[in-house]
Amino acid sequence: MGYWREATGIKGPSGFGSGNTVEQVTEGIDASRLTVIVAGGSSGIEAETARVSALRGAHVIIGARNLEAANAVKQNILNSIPSARIDIIQIELRLLSSLKSVRAFVEKFLAMNLPLNILINNAGVMYCPFKLSKDGVEMQFAMNHLGHFLLTNLLLEKLKTTAEKTGIESRIVNLSSVAHVGPYSEGIKFDKLNDKKAYNDIMAYGQSKLANILHSNELARRLKIHSGRCFVPVSS
């Protein structure tokens, strides 16, 4: 049903489908009191997410590896939305997928002493040849899951305290995919993540997307227990 709905544009429970634009989905929303991190906001859907977040008034923090590309995105947004509030912090979620870079990003963000209402984990790769990240983990799993997993956990307290201080529910959005239904037959092969001989690019992608879903579901459960003020949606 997921692939069929995506291909046909049939609307889901939210009232929106693949034929809708981000502007349509967010129409009427005032985000002027919100700070949003878009992880991987220098191209593609990440850049569009940053643009529309700024359009709705949010203070947008773009996390990107390529600062030149990120600055180009920022300038394009400012050209059409002069009042946009946008900052850029470098983070390595692509190519080497460095966990050290994730920690450095969080350090810089926290030093800005800003609230954090929404964390959007968007960066990702798909169906790539076997390769290890800088930390020695298969690239699709490292980039699509581990980097975002660490980023989320390091920012979790900031999300909680912002929700408690403002009374505005925080949001963590993990970009997943209907491909989560097609991982390896074992599901997530924790004991063979880096087994090049057993690697299948399509199943490895499904494995990483399944990890996104499981992470999101567990976050939702824990945060509901925490205070009821943080809610974690899964975008697929």
Chunk the chain into consecutive blocks of 10 residues (it has 236) and report each block's average pLDDT, rounded to whole numbers.
Answer: 65 85 93 94 86 97 92 96 96 72 94 97 88 92 93 96 93 87 88 94 95 93 64 43
Quick check: pTM over 0.85?
yes
Q: How many residues does the chain have?
A: 236
**Catalytic residue (one of 127, 184, 199, 205):** 199
Give the DSSP H/E element, type plus range, for residue 150.
helix 147-166
Model confidence pLDDT, tens digit, residues 61-75: 999 888 999 999 999
Produce one character per residue of 130-141: b if its CB has 16 or more CB atoms within 10 Å, e if not.
bbebeeebbbbb
Instruction: From residue 133, give the alpha-carbon distance in Å to each of 77, 140, 192.
Output: 32, 9, 15
Active site residue 3: no
The token pair that represents 115 in the structure block = 């609230």
Domain spans, the chain = 30-235
Q: Which CATH architecture describes the domain 30-235?
A: 3-Layer(aba) Sandwich (3.40)
Beta strands in the chain (DSSP E): 35-39, 59-64, 85-90, 118-121, 170-175, 230-231, 234-235
Model confidence pLDDT, tens digit, residues 93-116: 665 468 999 999 999 999 999 999
